[in-house]
Chains A and B, each alone.
Chain A
Amino acid sequence: MALAVIALLALPMLAAILGFAFYNRLIALRNAYKNAFAQIDVQLKRRHDLIPNIVETAKGYLQHERGTLDEVIIARAGAVSAAQSAAAAPGDAAAMAQLSTAENTLTGALSRLLVVAENYPDLKANQVMIQVMEQLTTTENRVALARQAYNDDVMFYNTAIQKVPANLIAGWFHFTPAEFFQADNLADRQTPTVSFS
């Protein structure tokens, strides 16, 4: 009788403990990708903060290109608000998609601005502009690395919630798959210079 009591207690306890172990692992993986997003957030904020410097410097030279400048300003505002809502819910499909779109729009506007700036050698030679462009490039690299880390962590998490024993726990406790963050680099968007020589 004693043996039966022990067995009756031990088996469900073991199952419960295994369940807890899987649950805790899922929590740890989820926290990992949320923390990885925090890194992206820092770099994106830095990127957004560089834009006003670029616009201010370029304003003096690009008197007749207001359209391009305004496009950049509007795109930046959109990206800032998308970043805030994504920071509140990292991994959420809608928020990440919105962030991707907003950042791509900003990248597009920036690359168009750079194309236009090609025609103004005074602007290109301006010291402040050179410095800020250099900082922008470095920031783009940092964003890329942080994005890669975030996507890796999301991949681990998504895989874990699909694997067999853990997907039961995931279902009961509503662990939803996270969304990747895909966005283009500014470097990829630079239109290649075409020479007809």
Chain B
Amino acid sequence: MTDFFERQSIARTKTKLLLCYFVPAVALTILGIYFVVLFGLCFHTSYRGRHYDYARHLFTPTNVNWHLLGVVAVVTVVCVAIASLYKASLLSDGGHAVAAMLGGRQILPNTTNPDELRLRNVVEEMAIASGVTVPEIFVLDDEGSINAFVVGHNASDAALGVTNGAMRLLNRDELQAVVGHEFSHLLNGDMGLNIWLMSLLFGILFIAITGKFLLQVESGTSSSSRRNTGGIVLLGVGLFVIGSIGYFCARLIKCAVCRERECLADASSVQFTRNPIALASALKKIGGLSYGSRILSAEADEASHLFFADVMSENGMFSTHPSLTDRIRLLDPSFDGKFEPIQGPPPRKVDPTRPIQTIMDVPGINRMPPATVLQIAQVINQRNEQTPAPPKPRFTPAHLTYAAGLAASFPPEIDAIVREPFGASAFVYAMLLSCDEAARQKQLTDIAGCADQSVINAAMQYLPTVNALSKGQKLGLISIAIPALRHMSPLQFDSFSKTVQLLVESDSEISLFEYNIQKSIRRHLEPRFKLPTPAIAQYYAAAGLSAECAVLFSALAYQSSIEGTEVARAFRCGADDLQLPPQKQIALLPKDDCNLVQIDAAVQKITQASFPVKKQILNACALVVAADSVVKEEEAEMLRAIADAIGCPLPPFVSSVGIPEAA
């Protein structure tokens, strides 16, 4: 089976393939428009002042009017390009913007609605298990069908949406299977592909839209000049017809690329949850529902490839998903093809007088009882005894169980406050406040002017509980806190990040944990509040980053052992794996040369590398950690911090699974 990087590179190949399909589609469209324009010009009989017979070009297609064809080609390509770029810029606003465009309503992380709470918990567990931050969750309120989607540019920008029907009609296992399917789109690299699809296809469809627009304009104007309007109507009709050709091509392209991705996503979901029956049962419910998975929103057709199941009742060649029966048979070979009809959800009534439970008195909502509640200390002990083996497993059901157990182990008072901006900021401050009394006083004086006093007081209040949390719990809670922090205003975020920086820099040394938190916050929150700079790969060979690799390997090697020879051996494991050319060979750096500041600088550069290079470097880092067959907590933490900073999420370390591969 393939790993994270391989899947990503396959996704990229598919994207290039998409472009190959796209070119003949545009060429066909240009030819079509050429003939339509020619037909229209037949009524216009002079060209450059002389009598010109366009009809001869029309009826003998081999006699091409190159001038006209050139003009048509240029205009068409320019229109398509501009339309595609326009759509891409619309979609560049981020996953949450696209989800809102599809009609989604965001679920606030601190919701009290039991259905929404259950969905939120399922998504949180899956996010913790796979090592990504929790995506923003949306609900399509007006859709009674069962469907789901995920949009965005990458894992930290993702927005996951679910229809009202799915939220109410599926049980927890089925919901987990559907969410797993969407997460596997996230982790298989389909996000970028989908954005490309939407932009390029909009470019082709633009012709049809223009045609329709011309027709509508025409029907409104008075017939002051018959001859000219005749031509324009014909042009409109013609463009619309041609646009339909474009539409046809667009459908074919979507299907060629999408059906395969959907099969892969189904398979990956089963891999994560080891529960094929749940996914099959969700699909059966779709089959049994009278409106199945249909989405009524107008934007749905454009975004049909983003969804879990077909949004229109298509069949055969033009559907973006394999047929329901086929999908179910792959999961449950005993399926007999008959769907049991089920009742749709009752219409959503908003009852303003219904008393809403406050977060204080909500009982334990539908939490999956963890099969084995892993005590965190136990996990650490077990980790020290394992031997990481070379073929590294990815995100597995063991991770899910670990995540469920972790989620159940959060102290209730922290769990209740961490999903809203006030509590989440207080939690982050509490994690960064020092245990030492004097240092803490200094930190408090430093941030007094910058942060809100009530938040600081809350942080002091939660300090004892937060200090008692384990590293694993803290990292899990941060992943949950980040969506809540997105709800701050940009000004509030400015003062928040300044406060975080002051807290971290207040004692003049940074610990790895503080570095991790600060980096996480920057990485996952800044794109929301500041303009993201487009990432262009600048390094295509590891040799160009040899100095940075030396810093990372040395830092990891020093974490693994105190003995000089062990450190050198660990370093060698990583360095040899890179297979650098002789003039670029790296050596172990002295301890002072690989502190966090240097690690940060190295990571910044590596983030600009191309994907295969990142994969190489991360693999080599994992080998450094695995060199002495003992994975200490600090090593694991550093490796995860590095992986998160360069944009490749690593699942948490779970005993009996070894060092996970990027999920």
A-side residues, CB < 8 A to B, are: 2, 5-6, 9-10, 13, 17, 20-21, 24, 28, 31, 35-36, 38-39, 42-43, 45-46, 49-50, 84, 135, 138, 141-142, 144-146, 148-153, 156
- In the bound assembly, the distance between CA atoms of A35 and B79 in angstroms comes to 35
Taking CB atoms, residues of chain B closer than 8 Å to A2 are 67, 70-71, 74
Beta-carbon contact of A156 and B490 below 8 Å: yes
- A149:B488 contact, CB within 8 angstroms: yes
With contacts A21-B89, A35-B106, A42-B108 taken as known, whether A145 is within 8 angstroms of B358 at the C-beta atoms is no
Whether A49 pairs with B71 at a CB distance below 8 angstroms is: no
Task: Contact check, A35 vs B110: say whether CB atoms are below 8 A apart.
Answer: no
B82 located at the interface, meaning its Cβ lies under 8 Å from any Cβ of chain A in the complex: yes
Q: Which chain A residues border B458 with CB–CB below 8 Å?
A: 138, 141
**CB <8 Å contact, B490 and A152:** yes
Which residues of A lie under 8 Å from residue B489 when comparing CB positions? 36, 148-153
Given contacts A5-B71, A156-B490, 17 further A-B contacts (CB under 8 A): A2-B67, A2-B70, A2-B74, A6-B75, A9-B75, A9-B78, A13-B79, A17-B82, A21-B89, A38-B108, A39-B420, A145-B422, A146-B421, A149-B487, A149-B488, A149-B489, A152-B490
Q: Closest residue of chain A to B421, judged by CB?
A: A145
Decide if B2 is an interface residue (CB 8 Å cutoff): no
Could you say which residues of chain B place their CB within 8 Å of the CB of A39? Answer: 108, 420-421, 487
Q: How many residues of B contact A (CB 8 A)?
A: 38
Residue among A5, A31, A144 making CB contact with B100, cutoff 8 Å:
A31
* Minimum Cβ distance to chain B for residue A5 (Å): 6
> When chains A and B are docked, how far (Å) is the Cα of A142 from the Cα of B419?
12
B368 in the interface (beta carbon within 8 A): no
Q: What are some 12 contacts across the A-B interface (CB < 8 A)? A: A2-B71, A6-B78, A9-B78, A9-B79, A13-B82, A17-B82, A35-B106, A42-B110, A84-B352, A152-B492, A153-B489, A156-B490
B-side contacts of A152, CB under 8 Å: 489-492
Annotate B487-502 by CB proximity to A: 1 below 8 A, 0 otherwise: 1111110000000000
Q: Does B86 contact A (CB under 8 A)?
A: yes
Chain A's nearest CB lies how many Å from the CB of B195?
16
Q: Is the CB of B422 within 8 A of A17?
A: no
Contacting residues, chain B, for A135 (C-beta < 8 A):
360
Q: B446 to chain A: which residues have CB within 8 Å?
A: none
A22 → chain B closest CB, angstroms: 12
Q: A20-B86, A28-B97, A148-B492 are in contact. Are A42 and B454 (CB under 8 A)?
A: no
B358:A46 contact, CB within 8 angstroms: yes
- Known A-B contacts A5-B75, A24-B90; A149 and B421 likewise in contact (beta carbons under 8 Å): yes
Please report the C-alpha to C-alpha distance between residue A59 and residue B422 in the assembled complex, in whole angstroms: 32
Report B-chain residues with C-beta under 8 Å of the C-beta of A138.
458
* Distance in Å: Cβ of B584 to nearest Cβ of chain A: 46
A135 to B361, CA, bound (A): 12
A6 contact set on B, CB distance < 8 A: 71, 74-75, 78
- B residues within 8 A CB of A142? 420, 422-423
**Beta-carbon contact of A10 and B78 below 8 Å:** yes
CB distance from B403 to the nearest CB of A (A): 26
Question: Chain B residues with Cβ under 8 A from A13's Cβ?
Answer: 79, 82
Q: Beta-carbon contacts of B615-643 to A below 8 Å, as 1s and 0s?
A: 00000000000000000000000000000
A145 and B82 in contact (CB under 8 A), knowing A5-B71, A39-B487?
A: no
- Inter-chain CA distance A153–B493, complex, in Å, is 12
